[in-house]
Amino acid sequence: MIIMKTDATEEDISRVIAIVEESGLRASVIRGEYQTVVGPVGDERLLDFDRLATLSGVKEAARVEAPYKLISREYARFFGEPGAHRTVVIGDVRLGNGEPVIIAGPCAVESRQQIMRIAEESKRAGAHILRGGIFKPRSSVHAFQGMGSSGLAGAEEALTWLKEAGDAFDMPVVTEVRGESMVDLVAKYVDIMHIGARNMYDQDLLAEVARKGKPVLLKRHFGASIEELLSFSEYVAAEGNKDLILCERGIVPVGKGKSYTRYTLDLSAVPVIHNETYLPVLVDPSHGTGRRDLIFDMSCASIAAGADGLMIETHYNPAEALVDGPQMVTPDELAEIIEACRTLHALKQKARRTAW
């Protein structure tokens, strides 16, 4: 990190950028009101920080040994992040540091009628953002892979249904982008680009999605540590995209006996991630538990843990869903969850700890 003096000239700044680039790194330049900071992105071992520190206009040049720093709370002030929490703005929805934001919708978009009806009923229940998978990651190649599996024309048609449903009920839309070849197509139709748990480690996909400049929803891989989630988030931020929403969705259960839940929802990840970064954090209790009867309690627990919102799979008739029926709630159940979460959020704001 190279912190320029308040009276550094444009020439001083350009010289620093040139040295960073000549060393084979990219320079992420943050211009504050009084001060400019140059953040080298790439292999920092190639940079001579001692030499940089002696240049005209340079106040401080220091190596920051952290797998993530662009998104870190500790270094936020250097990277032009003024508030303690970032709010990601998606149309009229403000996600982060405010009321809990609810993303609802089916696991998979199955027809125009299905997504229209779910959008209407989810909106009525109080949801803010509409979800619907078009490219589904499935463990079996023989299972329904989403409308996107019928070729690009099928994928595009399903994307138009999703967008139409979002527009009709005034909700931004989010869908998963499963591979680099689908990034352009998905970016044409959605407001948030979702990277699924299985792809959290795909740094090329992360960078490609980030370059579209739209908000990115990144889910934690079910075998990933929190540090890995944050480190891979940095790939998005390094492309200059900090409209990043992180999502806890459960990790692999331990032990040999029956685990009773699809995954183990790691709710302590929420305050831990909030401590480490200013980015908003969501919880997905649907994939986290795999059980409709647990969604109410785990949604409440997520809000109590400080989650900025929830992603909840919703269907007017879960029994007819082609994917994930057992974990879907109905719109009536969703309305109860949202009401409880609002009450809890208000309570938590009021009871906010002060002593520690």
Task: Report the interface residues with Mn ion, using CB under 5 A.
Answer: 107, 324
Closest-by-Cβ residue to ligand PEP is 196
* Contacts with ligand PEP, 142-181, as mask; x by CB under 6 A: ----------------------------------x-----
CB of 327 to ligand PEP, least distance (A): 10
Could you tell me which of 90, 61, 86 has the C-alpha nearest to residue 71? 86
Is the distance from CB of 93 to CB of 172 less than 8 angstroms? yes
Is there binding between residue 276 and ligand PEP (CB under 6 A)? Answer: no
Is the distance from CB of 99 to CB of 338 less than 8 angstroms? no
The helix (H) or strand (E) run that includes residue 298 is helix 292-304
Complex with Mn ion: residue 163 or 219, whichever CB lies closer:
219
* Tokens read off for 242: 């900090």
CA atoms within 13 A on the CB side of 331: 16
Whether the CA torsion 274, 279, 285, 287 is positive or negative: it is negative
Is there binding between residue 295 and ligand PEP (CB under 6 A)? Answer: no
Complex with ligand PEP: residue 196 or 285, whichever CB lies closer:
196
Complex with ligand PEP: residue 69 or 219, whichever CB lies closer:
219
For residue 60, give Cα distances in angstroms to 53, 76, 210, 330. Answer: 6, 16, 30, 56
Complex with Mn ion: residue 107 or 159, whichever CB lies closer:
107
* Contacts with ligand PEP, 176-215, as mask; x by CB under 6 A: x-------------------xxx-----------------
Is the distance from CB of 313 to CB of 107 less than 8 angstroms? yes
289: left (phi over 0), alpha (psi -120 to 50) or beta: alpha
Complex with Mn ion: residue 93 or 107, whichever CB lies closer:
107
Contacts of ligand PEP in 297-336 (CB under 6 A): none
The helix (H) or strand (E) run that includes residue 3 is strand 2-4
Is there binding between residue 287 and ligand PEP (CB under 6 A)? Answer: yes
Is the distance from CB of 277 to CB of 72 less than 8 angstroms? yes
Residue from 69, 249, 262, 315 binding ligand PEP (CB under 6 A): 249
Q: Compute how many residues bind ligand PEP; rule: CB under 6 A.
A: 11
CB of 16 to ligand PEP, least distance (A): 40
Residue 219 interaction partner, one of Mn ion, ligand PEP, none, beta carbon < 5-8 Å per kind: ligand PEP
Residue 176 interaction partner, one of Mn ion, ligand PEP, none, beta carbon < 5-8 Å per kind: ligand PEP
Only one residue has tokens 């803010």, namely 128
CB of 249 to ligand PEP, least distance (A): 4
Could you tell me which of 272, 258, 343 has the C-alpha nearest to residue 305? 272
Complex with ligand PEP: residue 81 or 208, whichever CB lies closer:
208
Complex with Mn ion: residue 277 or 289, whichever CB lies closer:
289
Helix, strand or coil, per DSSP, at residue 235? helix
Only one residue has tokens 């032990």, namely 255
Q: Which chain residues interact with ligand PEP by CB under 6 A?
A: 107, 133, 137, 176, 196-198, 219, 249, 284, 287
